[in-house]
Structure 1
């Protein structure tokens, strides 16, 4: 993915939100620490940092944002940065230096503020702080909670009050937290977890984390969590509980029992009804105490009881049962005999986890014939689940490899390749004993005519692997929207063809444009086209577009801006 074609790879909704951030001035700071390295400060619900590294051709080698978005590989803040990079790449050197100058000015302002605050008296600082707090009741409670010294009971009461205040603040009159405010809500709730981390009282820390966890799960009922902020808050709360438990390793047995019992009681809460995966997370934390036999027996009984209430006849019930059984398996591994472990696995081979455990045992014992037998059996059983079938095929392939069954390897490697696993192309190449060129050409034709949805992707990866520029040029001719991705690779050998495809792509983009954002995108393509075709060719196509779209003043306006 490059800064020229990233729009082809990113969800339309994320593109729109990122573009709004770009044109809306949400990029408030840019720093260029090294060649083709950029750090952006982008203002959203909070200030986020985006780091992007490029190669000389604009390929995005690395991109990361510290926002909590986890619903896809690229967030709206990264998209805003990508649009800004397109602008930067076509700006003058003077503009680039101005960006660094502005970044330096921002740093100087921060230093000035620090010096001013250092010069003020305690009373002056208090007055400033009180003015900033104003009538913000939630902020008042947060400050009191964070910096006052009271006993554990009072601390917990304050935490409850602060949580109620945060919920009331964001729910408002409608009783619902909108998508735009959910991140801020989760962020303020998350501040309480820092209190749990900072306190030396383990039981107070647990109680605070429990309060946050329970309210966060309830928040699914009154907040729009499309962005995943509440889910992330829940994960953070469970992580904090786990960290607290880790700190309890050196406690005496009685204190461990109390912590365990609190966790087990929490797992029984009705708050987890409908959110079983979170209940299972708590039960996994209970498993940290199974070195004490009575606690181990108690946990096993609890999990067996939960399993008895789930039906494995539906997919969800089977999934939850499997997750619960995994906890029991870990306990068996630690404290059961070899015979008990093997029997437990055998009894639960209807579950994918235990199938994998069983087949891995055959690998360890070098019983590759058994691996092949099991894999074939489960490929047939799980044929409606392509991901599982692929897993069993890969294990079967490894068994063939161990047994040096070259013919079987070749056949299965090809199946796996056509299933979308490109790594098996290299395996196939190593197995070829005849004419490699003939093999490659035959495979190309098969992939081109293959109707599976992986076909085009694998075909493209294969020709790129072989640096087959002739085939790549044909691919781009048939798929002109990919020209920017491969123009640099093709221009030396096929300059005229590349220019013609580029023209076709520009005209296609122009014909489907209907608003200023679209027109700006076309102009971006034209700027990049100039690098390939030259200024005169760029001017000719601009003039042609002006004639074709003379009734679209916004488009004409954008075209005139191109220099």
Structure 2
């Protein structure tokens, strides 16, 4: 019987030696017992290989490795078995009296000291992790020596052994794609997205703490590997549409921010900065960052590049990038960086030239307008805004047009120029498809004797959209103006979703137009009932009938319509149920 204790007897010497070498060199990147006796490991060889081992007590019942070796047992399985045996030996529950004596003699400790140590060990075996964490947090907050010892134990300033963060982080991703073989069958991997996200977050937290403790190289290594692993394993269908909606772009941002902090730190060696730049350029070439909108790697590369290079080198680089990305949407970021570098170099004339050259970019114009407003240079700001409106209209950037108009309005309000305020509110009313806010502002500013004529002209200039739900601007204005003839004319002329509009606004016309509104309801509801089947539609019909009942003369009209429907649609039991209340 092959067991975890004697398996070496059944393995070819050459394979056994290689497996031992793999285990001794730390090639077993991750190992865990997923369920009693079911072990999974990732072993680093020519590639990363996944190994599964099933134990029945000490007996090795099954094993599987996805490497190409076609023999009975490969070196990766051997390394995994050694790791399992070592892992199990560390988790024996209690020491025998003989073992206690042996340890006492070897370590020179008293029996009482060993017992105390063992008591702590045994407590740690059953205490819940969250309660243990709570205790440690509370104890550390009031015992500075314990806090210092804790930090030094897990984040030493001078670690005795170099941690292979790259392999550790990569193994987190490799464990996603476990090849589960059992009795000759293959099972699709089950990916625990929350677990993966938690692992990445823990490494980012550790990297941040390492950065705070001046372990700059280790912090950078973790951040770089997170970006590299996400880039290497990102599959849009898996990562973007996973059940937990985990956004790995956030992890990329965290890693990128940390790398920037490292390269900008005063104690970071130039060699480390250049190494970070070299690696991030290679990561940026990965298909993930080129093909998917997961993270703006180009922006990170540029920021690191400009932080690593001298000011003159950075200026040359940014000029080259501006030429290459002349038509790119984020060109403004490069221009802003160029302006900052020129300012640091004291090249004032070139700063002004650059600003003038790129004023067509809204982001650059926005910065200049802000400076003018801070200095209360209103006339210059107005000129720059009007020029920006012309440029934005030519480019079809209506959102920018509205932004500049709103800024002009705020300036005119600051200057108390009523005529200009009215004109800007008029333009913004038209631009926003009849915003009620600008309607109210205009009504408060335009003389009352001129208001009706002014509003009529304004309504004709404005394109209104026939949307329903929270409210329709055109209908709301007619209601506020108490112009019920125009409200009725507007509702009766609608061709799309008129029932919704009638249901929403008929109550305002009840006193003046109920006899005209009810036929519109009746015609539209007949058409709706004829064309639509299903419980949801029948519930809607009932809701419309309730609204009709509230109108003058509505009860009789509803009664006749319901009787008509009961005859026409008697084979629709769900509709008959909904009409039961009538």
TM-score range, shorter chain: 0.5 to 0.7
- Among candidates 360, 367, 373, match of residue 363 of structure 1: 373
- Among candidates 251, 254, 268, match of residue 240 of structure 1: 254
Q: 1:395 to 1:306 in 2, by over 3 A?
A: same
| C-alpha distance in structure 1 between counterparts of 2:221 and 2:323, whole Å | 30
The worse-fitting range, judged by mean Cα deviation, of 372-381 and 395-404 is 395-404
How far is the alpha carbon of 1:270 from its aligned partner? 0.7
1:388 maps to which residue? 400
CA contact 1:529–1:538 (8 Å) conserved in 2: yes
| C-alpha distance in structure 2 between counterparts of 1:355 and 1:228, whole Å | 41
| C-alpha distance in structure 2 between counterparts of 1:496 and 1:228, whole Å | 56
How far is the alpha carbon of 1:418 from its aligned partner? 1.1
CA contact 1:216–1:233 (8 Å) conserved in 2: no
1:303 aligns with 2:300: no
1:16 maps to which residue? none
CA contact 2:262–2:268 (8 Å) conserved in 1: no
1:319 aligns with 2:298: no
How far is the alpha carbon of 1:237 from its aligned partner? 1.5
TM-score norm. by structure 1 comes to 0.55
The worse-fitting range, judged by mean Cα deviation, of 381-390 and 503-512 is 503-512
1:192 aligns with 2:227: no
2:285 maps to which residue? 270
Q: 1:164 to 1:367 in 2, by over 3 A?
A: same
Q: 1:345 to 1:247 in 2, by over 3 A?
A: closer
CA contact 1:414–1:428 (8 Å) conserved in 2: yes
Q: 1:214 to 1:226 in 2, by over 3 A?
A: same
- Among candidates 300, 304, 319, match of residue 282 of structure 1: 300
2:565 maps to which residue? 545
- Among candidates 459, 480, 483, match of residue 499 of structure 2: 480
2:174 maps to which residue? 164
1:425 aligns with 2:435: no
1:452 maps to which residue? 463
| C-alpha distance in structure 2 between counterparts of 1:459 and 1:280, whole Å | 46
1:344 maps to which residue? 354
Q: Deviations 1:175-223 (Å, cap 9, x if unpaired)? A: xx9xxx9xx7865543333222432444656555545545555677652
How far is the alpha carbon of 1:498 from its aligned partner? 6.8
Aligned ranges 1:46-195 → 2 under 5 Å: 130=35, 153-166=163-176, 189-195=196-202
1:511 maps to which residue? 530
How far is the alpha carbon of 1:348 from its aligned partner? 2.0
| C-alpha distance in structure 2 between counterparts of 1:136 and 1:548, whole Å | 67
| C-alpha distance in structure 1 between counterparts of 2:549 and 2:175, whole Å | 58
| Unmatched segments (≥5 aa) in structure 1 | 1-127, 171-176
Helix, strand or coil: the match of 2:359? coil
Helix, strand or coil: the match of 1:253? coil
Q: 1:367 to 1:212 in 2, by over 3 A?
A: same
Aligned ranges 1:429-444 → 2 under 5 Å: 429-435=443-449, 437-439=451-453, 442-444=454-456
CA contact 1:542–1:559 (8 Å) conserved in 2: no
The worse-fitting range, judged by mean Cα deviation, of 417-426 and 457-466 is 457-466
CA contact 2:499–2:521 (8 Å) conserved in 1: yes
How far is the alpha carbon of 1:406 from its aligned partner? 4.1
How far is the alpha carbon of 1:319 from its aligned partner? 1.8
1:174 maps to which residue? none
CA contact 1:322–1:351 (8 Å) conserved in 2: yes
CA contact 1:196–1:204 (8 Å) conserved in 2: no
| C-alpha distance in structure 2 between counterparts of 1:256 and 1:490, whole Å | 77
| C-alpha distance in structure 2 between counterparts of 1:231 and 1:304, whole Å | 39
| C-alpha distance in structure 2 between counterparts of 1:135 and 1:555, whole Å | 59
CA contact 2:224–2:279 (8 Å) conserved in 1: no
CA contact 1:410–1:428 (8 Å) conserved in 2: yes
1:6 maps to which residue? none
Helix, strand or coil: the match of 1:349? coil
Q: Deviations 1:373-394 (Å, cap 9, x if unpaired)? A: 3333333333231223333333
Helix, strand or coil: the match of 1:223? helix
Give 1 or 2 for the bigger CA radius of gyration: 2
CA contact 1:418–1:458 (8 Å) conserved in 2: no
How far is the alpha carbon of 1:540 from its aligned partner? 5.4
CA contact 2:510–2:551 (8 Å) conserved in 1: yes
| C-alpha distance in structure 1 between counterparts of 2:264 and 2:34, whole Å | 42
| C-alpha distance in structure 2 between counterparts of 1:473 and 1:374, whole Å | 45
Helix, strand or coil: the match of 1:273? helix
| C-alpha distance in structure 1 between counterparts of 2:414 and 2:336, whole Å | 29
| Unmatched segments (≥5 aa) in structure 2 | 1-32, 43-50, 53-83, 85-128, 130-153, 156-160, 181-187, 212-216
1:36 maps to which residue? none
| C-alpha distance in structure 2 between counterparts of 1:562 and 1:246, whole Å | 68
How far is the alpha carbon of 1:236 from its aligned partner? 0.8
TM-score norm. by structure 2 comes to 0.54
| C-alpha distance in structure 2 between counterparts of 1:219 and 1:531, whole Å | 62
Aligned ranges 1:213-252 → 2 under 5 Å: 213-214=227-228, 216=230, 222-223=236-237, 233-241=247-255, 244=258
| C-alpha distance in structure 2 between counterparts of 1:527 and 1:137, whole Å | 66
The worse-fitting range, judged by mean Cα deviation, of 207-216 and 408-417 is 207-216
Q: Deviations 1:65-110 (Å, cap 9, x if unpaired)? A: xxxxxxxxxxxxxxxxxxxxxxxxxxxxxxxxxxxxxxxxxxxxxx
Aligned ranges 1:22-37 → 2 under 5 Å: none
**TM-align CA RMSD:** 5.3
